[in-house]
Structure 1
Amino acid sequence: MRCARSTWLSSLRFKVLLAYIAGVALSILLIVLTALALVTSQSDILLVMNMTERTQELAEKLQFDPAGRPVGFDRSEADRIWTYESMQQDIGYRVLDASANVVLASTEANFWPASTALHPSDHEPFKFERQGILMYGATAPVEHDGKPWFLQLAVSERLMDLFHGAFALPFMGAGIVLFSLVLLFVFAACAYITLGYTLKPLREVSESAAAISPRSLHSRLQVSSVPSEVVPLVDSFNRVLQRLENGYRIQQEFLATAAHELKTPLALIRAQIELMEDFHDRNALLNDVAHMTRQVQQLLLLTEASEAQNYLFAEVELTDVAREASDYLQRMAEAAEVRLVLAQAPISTDPWQADRSALFTLLKNLLENAIQHAPRGTEVRVDIGADHLSVRDWGPGVDREQLPHLFVRFWRGAHRRDHGAGLGLTICQEIAQAHGWTLSARRAEPGLLLQLSRREH
């Protein structure tokens, strides 16, 4: 659990997403602080803006009688008229003509000081004191039937404070909360989708890198869709793969060259031994040469089996190849007094996609290994299914703790009767892996069963 949590915390997606969220949170904090500062300071700019907008809005609703004189406001202001009637100490309006004469007012004349008499060209916001209370005022021009009129609106500072405290702050707070939630979820969703799309090429490159094996060292990671910041890392990994491939090729070439070079002197030694007159020494030396020749041949086969480019894949009938390998080893089986039994395959068996020569070598090695360990008078049985082939003998088998070593190079059991190099089953395993098959071994009680499967069970 600790490891999983550590991996999650070190995730690039998590860190970038956290940065997005932190940025959004900081933005929201700055918005809240700015709004609180504006409301707390109650700056003249904010108040004047509110007064100017309200005055203009009220001027647009002014109504006139048939004679063209202002008489009041339309019905949309009906629910606000009471404020001018019941709060005459704190709010009032008046309408003036072009000569600054009052033609309509909500308050007594003494509400407005004479110093605020409107001149037709003066539309700027104004302030004045009334009974020690600061009043904010604004003017909005109105034109009706070509005649200019001017609406003035004045509100006390204490009433504006009450309005902002009772109405503006709650609405502003609700607006900030709603805006913050929308911003958070929208940013988080966008960040998550963007990161998922951005990091997808990295996941694909990671999967490609994990799939590279000694059989696919020629593969290279694609950088076409990888973010530019990660391209140098992928290029470095590709260069490492190039060096590994070169080293692996040199090793394989050395192994093949050494095996080929050993074949010629072994042939010469064998020819010289055959000319010797002492039959006892000659037979012993010939057995040693045969053993060495077999080792060299298996090394060559192992080198070929380890190279993916050596395979030529085509559809192959498994039953035909198994019968061919059985016929090839018939003499060996007769010499060991062992019966080779090829069970009848199902009629619906589909062809296998394989290199025929490599498949023949694999089956030949499996049968040869079984014949060498089968007691006289017993049989070696080959069973072919739709997706598998098994070879079983009735010999001493292998201890359970030794089963994992069967496919290890140069491993030989203590009970072996042959003089092999311990590479036969290793070659089989290499061929199976090159084809994407599974080669497994288990005790058959008695004997050993080796099974080749097209897919894992």
Structure 2
Amino acid sequence: MRFRTMGQLNSISAKVLLAFVVGLILSVSLIIIVFVTASVLRNNIFSEVEVHDFAQELVERLVFNADGVPVKITLENKYNWVFESFRSEIAYRVLDQSGNVLFYSPAGEEFWSSVDTRNSLMNGFFQFERDGIVVDAAIHSIENNGNRWFVEAAVSRRFVYFAHHAFGLNFIEKGLVLLSLVLFFVFSACVHFILSHTLKPLRELSESAALISPRSLQSRLENKKVPSEIAPLVNSFNHALERLEHGYRVQQEFLATAAHELKTPLALIHAQLELTPETEERNWLLRDVNYMSRQVQQLLLLAEASEQQNYRICIVDMYEVAIDALSYLQRIADAEKVKLNLINHASGVSLQADKGALFTLLKNLIENAIQHAGSGKEVRIVIYPDRITVRDWGDGVDETQLSQLFNRFWRGEHRRELGAGLGLAICREIALNHDWLLTAQRMEPGLLFQLQFRHVKSQFPGEE
């Protein structure tokens, strides 16, 4: 569980998603803090700012007559009703630079009775009380035809608080909740889409990398759709694959070349020994040369079987190939006094394979069974539509040794001296390059090899 948690925390997707969520939470938290601050600390700061802006708007709407004297403030229907309905809460007046009032809002002179006109012209913002109610006022000036005119606006603080509490803050509170929900769902949808779209090439890249094996070193990762930050890593990985492929090719070529070069000298030595008088020493040397020749031949076959381009795929009759393998090994079976029994349950069924490789695979399996069956025993080959099995009734191997059967140069306790330990390794290479499954199973007694095919084909219509 701990490993899984650490893996999730190290995920690019999880980190980016976490960053978005944290950013969203911080944004919403900041908005909430501002809202709470505005609700708790409702003092004259808000009123001063709003009254100041309101006075500025009145100055911009001031109308002058032909003589350049202010005559009215045009508010259309936006604020006129406010001054009519709330005469004791909100008002304005227009003054000249001497402090003489030109006209009032509908609240009239009574609203401004407690304000010193001359003193108010010298203050951009001031306060006064009217019937025990605090009123915030602001003044702005404007020049027209060389004369300066002043507009004073005043709003009671209780009216401002009422507007804030009954309408403004209530609207902000509901809007904040709605905005938070919208932001959450929108952010979540966007993050999910962005991450899915952005990380899709990485997932495809990972799947492609997982398919690369020693038998597909020629494959390369595509870097066209990957993010620019990942492209250098992909290029480096492809360069590493090129170096590995080159090293693997060199190794395989060396193995094949060495095997070819050794075949001729061994053949000459064998021929020379055949011409010498028969002695015990000559027989031992001849036996060693035969062993070396067999091992060289197996090495050559292993090198060829490891290269997929060496295969020529065609339609092959499994029964026909099995008959050829039995005919080739009949002399060895007779020498070991082993009976070969072929049972065919797949008449008319063919297989896509390299015929020579399938022959080598079956030959090695059957030869291995002959060597370990024991004198007077049977080796049974059964052909099914989707698999071939080879069974012997010899001593078999321990359960712990099954996994080592296909290793190169591995030989069991009951090995024969002629065995090179490469026959089953060649079988595995052929099976892997054909996408077949080759397994070994311990029987009582003996050993069972099973070659499972993935693609078979009927030679007769309607029998697939």
Same fold per superposition (TM over 0.5): yes
- With normalisation by structure 1, the TM-score equals 0.79
Q: 1:134 matched to which residue of 2?
A: 135
Distance 2:362 2:225 in 1: 44
Distance 1:260 1:47 in 2: 102
Supply the AA of the counterpart residue of 1:372. Q
- CA offsets 1:125-183 (integer angstroms, 9 cap, x no match): 99874526315699xxxxxxxxxxxxx99641122123313442232122123212321
Alpha carbons 2:47, 2:157 under 8 Å: kept: no
Alpha carbons 2:51, 2:155 under 8 Å: kept: no
| Higher mean C-alpha displacement, 45-54 vs 440-449 | 45-54
- CA offsets 1:307-349 (integer angstroms, 9 cap, x no match): 1221122332222222221222222222222222221223474
Alpha carbons 1:135, 1:156 under 8 Å: kept: yes
Alpha carbons 2:308, 2:433 under 8 Å: kept: yes
Distance 1:182 1:116 in 2: 52
- CA offsets 1:255-314 (integer angstroms, 9 cap, x no match): 112211211221121121111113433222211111110000001111111112211223
Distance 2:184 2:274 in 1: 90
Measure how far apart 1:36 and its partner are.
5.4
Match runs of 1:300-315 below 5 Å = 300-315=300-315
Distance 2:33 2:194 in 1: 30
Could you say what secondary structure the match of 1:422 adopts? coil
Q: 2:21 matched to which residue of 1?
A: 21
**Where does structure 1 lack aligned partners over 5 or more consecutive residues?**
63-71, 118-124, 139-151
Q: 1:67 matched to which residue of 2?
A: none
Distance 1:345 1:5 in 2: 53
Measure how far apart 1:203 and its partner are.
1.4
Match runs of 1:235-384 below 5 Å = 235-347=235-347, 349=349, 351-384=350-383
Distance 2:50 2:384 in 1: 88
Q: 1:415 matched to which residue of 2?
A: 414
Distance 2:341 2:57 in 1: 103
- With normalisation by structure 2, the TM-score equals 0.78
Supply the AA of the counterpart residue of 2:451. L
Measure how far apart 1:377 and its partner are.
2.8
Supply the AA of the counterpart residue of 1:42. F
Q: 1:160 matched to which residue of 2?
A: 160
Could you say what secondary structure the match of 2:389 adopts? strand
Q: 1:200 matched to which residue of 2?
A: 200
Question: Is it true that 1:189 corresponds to 2:189 in the alignment?
Answer: yes
Supply the AA of the counterpart residue of 1:230. I
Distance 2:359 2:301 in 1: 12
Distance 1:10 1:173 in 2: 38
State the identity %: 52
Distance 1:179 1:57 in 2: 36
Alpha carbons 2:51, 2:154 under 8 Å: kept: no
Measure how far apart 1:416 and its partner are.
2.1
Distance 2:13 2:301 in 1: 48
Q: 2:4 matched to which residue of 1?
A: 4
Measure how far apart 1:35 and its partner are.
5.0
CA RMSD of aligned residues (A): 3.5
Measure how far apart 1:367 and its partner are.
0.8
Could you say what secondary structure the match of 1:216 adopts? coil
Measure how far apart 1:90 and its partner are.
3.1
Measure how far apart 1:112 and its partner are.
5.4
- CA offsets 1:186-242 (integer angstroms, 9 cap, x no match): 123212221121111111111211211111111111111111111111111111111
Measure how far apart 1:5 and its partner are.
0.5
Distance 1:4 1:403 in 2: 34
Distance 1:263 1:242 in 2: 32
Closer, same or farther: CA 418–53 of 1 in aligned 2, 3 Å:
farther
Distance 1:50 1:32 in 2: 27
Question: Is it true that 1:60 corresponds to 2:77 in the alignment?
Answer: yes
Supply the AA of the counterpart residue of 1:199. L
Q: 1:399 matched to which residue of 2?
A: 398
Distance 2:196 2:356 in 1: 47
Alpha carbons 2:48, 2:136 under 8 Å: kept: no
Distance 2:369 2:54 in 1: 100
Distance 1:416 1:37 in 2: 89
Measure how far apart 1:409 and its partner are.
0.9
Distance 1:444 1:57 in 2: 107
- How many residues get paired? 412
Supply the AA of the counterpart residue of 2:340. L
| Higher mean C-alpha displacement, 290-299 vs 255-264 | 255-264
Closer, same or farther: CA 111–404 of 1 in aligned 2, 3 Å:
same
Distance 2:183 2:348 in 1: 63
Supply the AA of the counterpart residue of 2:309. Q
- CA offsets 1:106-138 (integer angstroms, 9 cap, x no match): x68623559999xxxxxxx99874526315699
| Higher mean C-alpha displacement, 415-424 vs 294-303 | 415-424
Distance 1:316 1:113 in 2: 116
Supply the AA of the counterpart residue of 2:381. V
Distance 2:434 2:74 in 1: 83
Supply the AA of the counterpart residue of 2:372. H
Alpha carbons 1:111, 1:130 under 8 Å: kept: no
Measure how far apart 1:8 and its partner are.
0.2
Closer, same or farther: CA 395–88 of 1 in aligned 2, 3 Å:
same
Q: 1:148 matched to which residue of 2?
A: none
